[in-house]
Amino acid sequence: MAPTAGGRFVGLAAVVVAALLGSAYALGQSMAPEPRPQPTGVSAHADDPPHADQPPGDRPRPPAPTSGPAGPTASPTVGGQNGATGQPPETAGDGLFGARVGTGSAVVALTFDDGPDPRYTPQVLALLRDYDVKATFCVVGENARNHPDLIQAIVADGHTLCNHSWQHDVLLGKRSPDVIRADLLRTNAAIRDAVPGAPIGYFRQPGGAWTYPVVSVAEEIGMIPLHWTVDPSDWRAPGAAKVAAVVSAEVRPGAVVLLHDAGGDRQGTVDSLHELLPDLTGRFRLEALPIPTGAT
């Protein structure tokens, strides 16, 4: 049977309506916003190195020391507070929070970190003895416990002791004041187990990663926070010649020189002293940092 005119009209109308509906749907989809990706909880910087693995150039650089009675950087007030305000000292802007960066006079101070180590500390002591130089040893608590004879040798030769935390904890300054205090007191106790009554007048934060809490707690215990002026990066073991060249070129009156007698292969540092000690003693007065009045 042939379709009627009415039937053809209805069919055509249905086709037109379907086409219009399809166009409207497509237009709506094109105007809808793109869905946002959901967070996965994984950092985009998961492979970034922690602070301890950053090169020294990424750490705060202390101002150059200037000799004089007041010293290059005023020592923080007792308790690490700026007067009675309870606020961090004004020097916090340099990343040091008031840590000392120089000797406060024309004297140059050699400091040796991370020991004692039976492979290198005796060599360092012998060379210092040969040139009649006194230095400052920033010792790690575990090493002091394991090698009390070397702590005794350091003190017997007239060198100054400095607390360098129990286990070289670069993140110590980010921990609670109670944890910081327990760490520093445990280190002091290990040192004094070897040398009862030994004065420990300084604290050096591993990695130079200073914070207000670690400076404040160190002062509360009676220790001066000690940074440095010259860093030859001898912990990278660049070789004796490189260590000697950097120190010789950068040292100035009032400088505190950072060296290491433990924590890795330190033979390059030991060997550099054969060149450094005659050079520096010919140009500067080298002394151990003085024991502060009231040091515990």
Cβ–Cβ under 8 Å, residues 102 and 229: yes
Q: Which residues pair with 110 in a beta bridge?
A: 257
Please state, in angstroms and as integers, the Cα–Cα distance from residue 77 to each residue in 83, 175, 176, 239, following that order.
7, 21, 20, 40
Residue among 263, 286, 264 nearest 273 (CA): 286
AA identity, residue 184: L
Q: How far, in Å, CA of 58 to CA of 8, rounded?
A: 82
Residue among 224, 203, 112 nearest 157 (CA): 112
Q: Which residue has the tokens 């005796």?
A: 122
Three-state SS for 169-208 is CCCHHHCCHHHHHHHHHHHHHHHHHHCCCCCEEEECCHHH
Which one of 159, 164, 168, 260 is the catalytic residue? Answer: 260
Q: How far, in Å, CA of 291 to CA of 296, rounded?
A: 10
Q: How far, in Å, CA of 62 to CA of 224, rounded?
A: 16
Cβ–Cβ under 8 Å, residues 254 and 279: no
Active-site residue flag, 260: yes
Residue among 206, 170, 200 nearest 187 (CA): 200
Active-site residue flag, 193: no
Which one of 47, 113, 157, 261 is the catalytic residue? Answer: 113
Residue 195 C-alpha from the chain's centroid: 28
DSSP string, 132-170: T---EEEE-HHHHHH-HHHHHHHHHTTPEEEE--SS--T
Residues annotated as part of the active site:
113, 260
